């Protein structure tokens, strides 16, 4: 049986880096609701820049996650027809069924 621990670590890190900016987007929305941007315009610039940065980071890492290749079959991990996952819920390779988040 092959050891895919390095690929699992890369996939987990990329998965976390993809969805971590969503927390930043929620904080951005809270800051917009909390602060009166009309009184201090620099806050609007800073908060807007941080919000845009969170969105761009989420988009770039999402594309990288979508283009992640499965180690044994070299197919795109999240693209293609879904095969049944014998190990339970969670993302698995759409081609060979390998799960990297176990």
Calpha distance 16→13 (Å, rounded):
5
Reply yes or no on whether the pLDDT at 1 is more than 50.
Answer: no
Condensed to tens digits (0 to 9), the pLDDT of residues 21-80 reads: 888 778 777 777 776 666 767 777 777 788 788 888 888 988 888 888 888 787 777 766
Residues 62 and 77 in one domain: no
Reply yes or no on whether the pLDDT at 13 is more than 80.
Answer: yes
Q: Which residue has the higher pLDDT, 100 or 55?
A: 55
* pLDDT for position 101: 67
* pLDDT for position 88: 56
Structure tokens given for 45:
């610039």
The residue range of the domain holding 78 is: 73-102
Residues 50 and 96 in one domain: no
Residues 81 and 57 in one domain: no
């Amino acid at each position: 049986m092959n050891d895919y621990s390095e690929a699992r670590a890369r996939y987990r890190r990329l998965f976390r880096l993809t969805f971590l900016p969503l927390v930043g987007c929620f904080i951005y929305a809270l800051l917009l609701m909390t602060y009166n941007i009309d009184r201090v315009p620099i806050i609007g610039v800073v908060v807007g820049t941080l919000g845009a940065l969170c969105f761009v980071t989420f988009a770039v890492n999402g594309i990288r996650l979508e283009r992640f290749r499965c180690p044994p079959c070299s197919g795109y991990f999240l693209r293609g027809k879904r095969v049944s996952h014998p190990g339970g819920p969670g993302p698995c390779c759409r081609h060979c069924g390998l799960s990297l988040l176990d």
